[in-house]
A and B are shown apart, each in its own frame.
Chain A
Amino acid sequence: MFLDSIKGFDRIFHREPPEGSVTMVVGKPGTMKSSLVHAILSSYLWKNKGKKAVYITIEETEESHISNMKSLGIALPKNQYFIKDIASFKYEIAPTEDFLQDDKYFNFIISEISKPFGLYSKEAINDFPRLMALDSLNAFQTLFPLDSRLLRFRMQDFFQRLRHKKINSFIIVEGDPDVMIPEYFMMDGIIEVGIDRSHPQLPKRYVMVRKMRGVPHEMAPFMLNITKNGLEIGEPLIGWKR
């Protein structure tokens, strides 16, 4: 999927990750995590007409995502790409505080996220999307007043179901990639995005694969370039400093 998406991923991956891989995209604010995922998914879909993707946004509205993508020259293929806008839906239903603090809200979010893929459904769903993005794990987790172990257990179950259905998933996480979080262990892949500031006058965006199960890949950071046609993976960064 990566090799068939944005230009230059073949510099990093030597072959495709297995189907059903759950990949975390992690980076500090403003490092283009969402944009990278939109770019990967949309460029893959433009080349694979029969495929579908669902991008789930919990914090930022669909309108805002579309406007950002437009400014970067990333076109989202209409009939194949669906942004599930939980942020706007939440505004629409204006839930009460009681409701938000209840398990019901968690159940609602889980039901909605899993609905297109039939993850918890007994009925078989044919033709479900094989690509999914969740933006973001932080937003997802902070919404729930659950015991963190219970939440993690449910997350693990959720990821397992995605793998089982061979849905390639991207989980966006905002944070310092060097600060270990338990979710790192649940992932098949971890892609770090960041900004190289070795030359303060000329900061450069980069993408670095920290982990990808079942795939030989480069470990070095590679430049993430913004071109008029969207994002591209460029040359490896030389003399890189975090």
Chain B
Amino acid sequence: MVSKKYRRTTIEIDEQLYKRIKALAVEKDRTMRDIISEALEEKLAHEEEKKDTMDSDFLRENPISKKIVGTMEKFISGDAALLLFVKKCESRGYNPSLIGREMLSDEFLLSLCNGMRYLSDVDKSECLKALKAAVGGY
């Protein structure tokens, strides 16, 4: 088993909070260090998870958006595909979670291809074809 390395640090915390941590440590028969470390671990994990899902929740909620972004990822990075898709939706007043096939005009899909053009050498017509195929031709 790998033992954890600890680093000594000094921070100031609210006195009442200090007392509560101390009381909890006594109650659980654990050290204050363990209680504080665990609480911080939980907080950091929560924040990281929040950050990861913040922009991409709609991909779980909407299969059409997911297919389009997935196809874009063949040509540009996942981060860039997400950014571009969200931006193009916003500029048309679309909510990426509520994208329907009727919203996917050639003009909208071409705007995605035009944006991708800066980052990929994909041909515009090939790009449009791939996006249409991804959402079933419609």
Contacts and interface: CB of A to CB of B under 8 A. Distances in A.
B84 interface: yes
A107 interface: yes
Interface residues of B, number: 15
Interface stretch (A13-21, A66-74, A86-94, A150-158): A86-94
A86 B84 CA distance: 12
Given A84-B119, A85-B119, A88-B118, A95 B83 contact: yes
Interface string A80-114: 00101110110011110000000010011001101
Interface stretch (B30-38, B60-68, B74-82): B74-82
Contacts, number: 46
Nearest to B81: A111
A93 B79 contact: no
A188 interface: no
A108 B119 CA distance: 12
A108 B121 contact: no
B110 to A, nearest CB: 13
B123 to A, nearest CB: 11
A115 interface: yes
A116 to B, nearest CB: 8
B79 A104 contact: yes
B87 A93 contact: yes
Contacts of A89: 80, 84, 115, 118-119
Contact of A112 (B51, B79, B115): B79
A115 B115 contact: no
B79 A107 contact: yes
A94 B79 contact: no
Contacts of A107: 79
B78 A111 contact: yes
A93 B77 contact: no
A92 B112 CA distance: 10
Interface of A: 62, 82, 84-86, 88-89, 92-95, 104, 107-108, 111-112, 114-115
Given A92-B115, A108-B80, A111-B77, 9 more contacts: A89-B118, A94-B87, A104-B55, A108-B83, A112-B76, A112-B79, A112-B80, A114-B77, A115-B119
9 contacts: A82-B121, A93-B83, A104-B51, A104-B79, A107-B79, A108-B77, A111-B79, A112-B77, A114-B77
Closest 4 A-B residue pairs measured CB to CB? A111-B77, A108-B79, A89-B118, A85-B118
